[in-house]
Amino acid sequence: MLSRCRRTLDVTLQWMVISLMILLTVIVLLAVFYRKFGASLSWYDEVASVMLAWITYYGAALAALRRQHLGFDGLLLRLPREVRMAALVVAEILVVGFFVLLAWAGWKVLEVVGDENLISLPWISVSFTQSVIPIGAALFVICELLSLPEAWRSARAGRSLEHPEIAPMER
């Protein structure tokens, strides 16, 4: 059940990030094309910056699901098992706590922007564009928790998630 949920979320996030990247590329290339022929698009830079933020948040959640964020796997694995497991718990609490706080702050941002609209595209609300903050943070927490059992097993066994080819370190 957990692995199916994880796999579904992985595929969904992959497609979201890939689709957003393709769309961002098309928009930027279209803007370059228009500018080359003397007709600038007034909205592309605002839309491109919003899309880049979306790619960042959804990509970060995907990386969390795959445990591919920068870490100190080698340092963690050098610790004795009990200390290693305690360090993993502390790290998870800090990461999840930070993203819960970010989700809360993102929700407050949505309350502040209220019914404001984008300058260049007045029919698009700022709340819609900024909704990525609480949604992305919540997705990050979900992805972190879904990937925790595998991270726990690997850390307990002394295996590196970053470099699986390295032999387990037993301490």
- Does an H or E element contain 95, and which? helix 81-113
Contact 104, 22 (CB under 8 A): no
Cα distance between residue 128 and residue 135, in whole Å: 11
pLDDT tens digits, one per residue of 71-129: 878 888 889 999 999 999 999 999 999 999 999 999 999 999 988 999 999 999 999 99
- In this prediction, residue 14 carries a pLDDT of 98
Q: What is the largest CA-CA distance in the chain?
A: 66
Token duo for residue 118: 């984008």
117 DSSP β-pair partners: 125
Q: DSSP secondary-structure letter at 66?
A: T
- In this prediction, residue 73 carries a pLDDT of 81
- In this prediction, residue 110 carries a pLDDT of 95
Give every CB contact of residue 2 below 8 A, 6+ residues apart in sequence.
146, 149
pLDDT tens digits, one per residue of 41-69: 889 999 999 999 999 999 999 999 999 98
Token duo for residue 170: 């037993």
Q: How does residue 7 score in pLDDT terms, banded at 50, 70 and 90?
A: very high
- For the whole model, what pTM was predicted? 0.89
Cα distance between residue 103 and residue 105, in whole Å: 5
Radius of gyration of the chain (CA): 20
Token duo for residue 38: 């003397």
> Scanning the structure block, which residue is given the tokens 């899309």?
51
Cα distance between residue 133 and residue 160, in whole Å: 31
Give first-to-last CA distance, the chain, whole Å.
32
Cα distance between residue 21 and residue 12, in whole Å: 14
